[in-house]
Amino acid sequence: MDIFLRNIDPIAVKKFDEMAKKKTISRQELLKAVIEKVAYEKEQNEKDMRMEMIISKNILVMELMTEAVNRLEILLSDLMEE
């Protein structure tokens, strides 16, 4: 799909041209990447937040399991001494 823009500030266009040149890509490629990034940014942030929540829950469960294993080790050690 094509997008046509008019009345863009010449200084902004120049800055995009400089950024594109640094990346050795065309202005069009740079603008396409920027537009697509902005379009999907919210969804990506939501996915990142869900992933962080899952990781946090997994860490908590692992800590609880470690505590349970430690208690079992102590109990088994006590039972073996008797």
In terms of phi and psi (left: phi > 0; alpha: psi -120 to 50; beta: otherwise), the region of 24 is left
Residue 19, judged by CB atoms within 10 A of its CB (0-12, 13-18, 19+), counts as middle
Contact predicate 40/50, CB 8 Å: no
Sorting pLDDT into bands at 50, 70 and 90, what band is 82? confident
pLDDT digits (tens, 9 = 90+) for 1-51: 888 999 999 999 999 999 999 999 999 999 999 999 999 998 989 999 999
Per-domain residue ranges of the chain? 10-81
Q: What is the pLDDT of residue 73?
A: 96
Considering the entire predicted model, what is its pTM?
0.55
Is pLDDT larger for residue 3 or for residue 66?
66
Q: What is the pLDDT of residue 1?
A: 84
Distances (CA, A) of 35 to 31, 41, 52, 62, 82: 6, 10, 26, 40, 71
